Amino acid sequence: MNPESQPASAWDNPAPEAPARPRVNVAGLSKTQLVELLPGVPAYRAAQIFEGLYKHRWTTWDSFTSLSKALRERLQVEVELAWPEIVESVSSEDGSTKHAFRLADGKLVEGVHMPYAGRTTLCLSSQVGCAMGCTFCATGQMGIVRNLTAGEIVGQVVAMLNKHDHAEGLPVNLVFMGMGEPMHNLDHVMAACALLTDPAGQAIPPRRITMSTCGLVTGIEKLARFRKRPRLAISLNGTTDRYRSQIMPVNRVWNLLALSNALRAFPVEKGEHITLEYVLLKGITDSMDDARRLVAFARQFPSKINLIPFNAHEGSGFHEPAEDRIEEFCKFITGKGLTVSVRRSRGQDVAGACGQLVREGRKKT
């Protein structure tokens, strides 16, 4: 049935005077939440609003021409439609662009748009700052400011795809490798994933989403229970408890054994892998003994290894290993029959690479 031919609801009447209560922002609401927010609006109308928000990525009520004019005017008055706004963009020589998003409370987070042949990858933030305090990471030095809401996470996707005139049908990969620890804000991250994977929205397949974590074991266990879940990447970055605890405080709570137990129990589908990200820090994590232990760790479950030569940032005190050491490390792993890649971080010249995403003043030490 043509929705337009259905009887008009109370919502199709002209807008009354503006209500006194604060306006709820619809950007980030689920279908159920939209129905709850808009009593009297028929379900098919809520579905049209959902599609407008998440499939068409509309940013103003004027774009929602499938709705009656009266309903649009009423929405304009009674609810807010506000996605995070891109306030600064810096493009790198390699084609990637780092964007700064301003959130409703004025806080800033960053995301990176990376075009590849046949797909676009978006690196997303999950928090303002991060509580995990990894010593090599610029975001970690900020401390935690707050969690992002589902709308603020989805909004980074909406804003970046709109900004880059994303071609319909071109696959999108999402990686939670920007600011923050996604497992420390799992409810909002999973709510965002539900919106992004919804067939009536961007319909991004869950296998195209990767959640990278420093190893919060309770979060990994919780993620394992979701039927539709993103792929898992673990920031390993250390092969002995002694060294890993020094650079990643999380290891003092869940050590390598606890982490590997959780990963062995994680349900991995056929053809799926758990990615082990391994930052190569000169003189700290780049010895050939590390390479050997990394291989042993990786053999415990279906995995592939992603080596990330350290991206320098001001005042970190760490260094990137020499090129021949990176090569030797990589060759050793390949020689053991494991899949390994070296992530030449994109956007390095604009500080958009891993661990360089930092927006606010550094935490005082």
Judged by CB under 6 A, does residue 290 bind ligand SAH? no
Judged by CB under 6 A, does residue 139 bind ligand SF4? yes
Chain residues 207-236 in contact with ligand SAH, contact rule CB under 6 A = 212-214, 235
Smallest distance from ligand SF4 to CB 355, Å: 6
Report which DSSP code applies to 351: T
Smallest distance from ligand SF4 to CB 215, Å: 9
Report which DSSP code applies to 311: P
Q: What angle do CA 159, 160, 162 make, to 5 degrees?
A: 65
Judged by CB under 6 A, does residue 121 bind ligand SF4? no
Q: Cα(170)–Cα(53) distance, rounded to whole angstroms?
A: 19
Nearest-10 crossing angle of helices 217-224, 256-265: 0
Which burial class, exposed, middle or buried, applies to 199 when counting CB atoms under 10 A from its CB (0-12, 13-18, 19+)? exposed
Compute, in degrees rounded to 10, the torsion defined by CA atoms 115, 116, 120, 126.
-70
Judged by CB under 6 A, does residue 191 bind ligand SAH? no
Give the up-direction half-sphere exposure of residue 5: CA atoms within 13 A in the CB hemisphere: 2
Type of residue numbered 139: T
Judged by CB under 6 A, does residue 181 bind ligand SAH? yes
Judged by CB under 6 A, does residue 92 bind ligand SAH? no
Chain residues 129-158 in contact with ligand SAH, contact rule CB under 6 A = 136-137
Q: Classify residue 266 as left (phi > 0), alpha (psi -120 to 50) or beta.
A: beta
Active-site annotation holder among 110, 152, 181, 277: 110
Closest CB to ligand SF4 among residues 152, 181: 181
Smallest distance from ligand SF4 to CB 90, Å: 20
Smallest distance from ligand SAH to CB 112, Å: 11
| CA separation, residue 200 to residues 4, 47, 82, 197, 355 (Å) | 19, 8, 20, 8, 34
Chain residues 319-358 in contact with ligand SAH, contact rule CB under 6 A = 354-355
Q: Cα(297)–Cα(261) distance, rounded to whole angstroms?
A: 11
Q: Cα(356)–Cα(300) distance, rounded to whole angstroms?
A: 31
Residue 311 contact among ligand SAH, ligand SF4, none, beta carbon within 5 to 8 Å by kind: ligand SAH
Q: Is 110 a catalytic residue?
A: yes
Judged by CB under 6 A, does residue 181 bind ligand SF4? yes
Q: Do residues 99 and 347 touch, judged by C-beta distance below 8 A?
A: no
Smallest distance from ligand SF4 to CB 129, Å: 8
Judged by CB under 6 A, does residue 159 bind ligand SAH? no
Closest CB to ligand SAH among residues 196, 232: 232
Window of 55-63, 206-214, 287-295, 334-342 that interacts with ligand SAH by CB under 6 A: 206-214
Q: How much is the CA Rg of the chain, to the nearest whole Å?
A: 22
Window of 59-67, 92-100, 128-136, 198-206 that interacts with ligand SF4 by CB under 6 A: 128-136
Closest CB to ligand SAH among residues 79, 183: 183
Q: How many residues does the chain have?
A: 365
Smallest distance from ligand SAH to CB 67, Å: 38
Q: Cα(365)–Cα(354) distance, rounded to whole angstroms?
A: 22
Measured from the Cβ of residue 345, the count of other Cβ atoms closer than 10 Å reads 20
Judged by CB under 6 A, does residue 68 bind ligand SAH? no
**51, two tokens:** 């599609």
Active-site annotation holder among 4, 152, 354, 360: 354
Q: Cα(183)–Cα(126) distance, rounded to whole angstroms?
A: 9
Judged by CB under 6 A, does residue 49 bind ligand SAH? no
Smallest distance from ligand SAH to CB 302, Å: 19
Site of interaction with ligand SAH (CB under 6 A): 136-137, 177, 181, 212-214, 235, 237, 277, 279, 308, 310-311, 313, 354-355
Binding site for ligand SF4 (CB under 6 A): 130, 132-134, 137, 139-140, 180-181, 214, 235, 355
Tell me which residues are annotated as active site.
110, 354
